[in-house]
Amino acid sequence: MKYWCLYLCCVLCFTAKAQLLDSATLSTQVLYLNMEDAEQADVLSVYRLRLKRKLPADFESRIRKFPHLQELQLVSMKLKEVPPVVCELTSLTRLDISNNKLEHLPKDIKNLTRLEYLILNRNYLQSLPAEIQYLSHLVYLDLWSNLIVELPQEITALEATLREVDLRVINMNDEHKIAMQALLPRTHFYFSPSCNCTMK
């Protein structure tokens, strides 16, 4: 009986730790600025990680050490694609892959169903995959300074949750803007002034 109670306490303790932190609580957690510091901490307490300029050696195996990771920033790394392992990090609620050289998002982005904030500014994205529809908790989508002038029809699945989309610093005309707003009438869009360019 004593061992059963001990086992139950361990399970309950792990379950409590495994629960996602809300946005306010997450913001109070330590933001680790390199992989080495994160690895020296208790891996179960690593919720936030920011890496810049270059992916660490053995990134794929090392990033898997942090089962509770909710915020990942891969900034200014000249990445041409999202590292496949990122789409395995299903506890992520915030993903920032800004200022890279991304031309597309992988279809496996659909696995990140807990994402609330997706930051993709200053890349070379021309479109979003239809799989964006599965990010059912997405609140904020940052696409400024990309090449996107159309959104996939499937993004309408996010109408109830997606509050803001930033599309500034992108050349588009009024038709582009009207078409996007028609897909997500409850979402607030941020646009730069319209150009006189024709529809693609």
Q: What average pLDDT does this structure show over 41-61?
A: 95
Q: What average pLDDT does this structure show over 17-22?
A: 76
Q: pLDDT digit string (tens) for 120-152?
A: 999 999 999 999 999 999 999 999 999 999 999
Q: What average pLDDT does this structure show over 9-33?
A: 72
Q: pLDDT digit string (tens) for 85-97?
A: 999 999 999 999 9
For the chain, domain boundaries: 22-191
Per-residue pLDDT at 119 exceeds 70: yes
Residue type, 11: V
Per-residue pLDDT at 31 exceeds 90: yes
| CA atoms of 143 and 109, how far apart (whole Å) | 15
Per-residue pLDDT at 33 exceeds 80: yes
pLDDT tier for residue 197 given thresholds of 50, 70 and 90: low
Q: Are strands 188-191 and 31-32 parallel, antiparallel or unpaired?
A: unpaired
SS3 for 40?
A: helix
Place of tokens 């061992």: 3
Handedness of CA 63, 90, 80, 30 (dihedral sign): negative
**Which architecture, in CATH terms, is 22-191?**
Alpha-Beta Horseshoe (3.80)
Lowest mean pLDDT: which of 8-12, 52-56, 64-68?
8-12
Is 18:68 a contact under the CB 8 Å cutoff?
A: yes
Q: Are strands 94-96 and 117-119 parallel, antiparallel or unpaired?
A: parallel
Phi, psi (degrees; rounded to nearest 5) at 195: -105, 175
Is 99:76 a contact under the CB 8 Å cutoff?
A: yes
Phi, psi (degrees; rounded to nearest 5) at 135: -85, 70
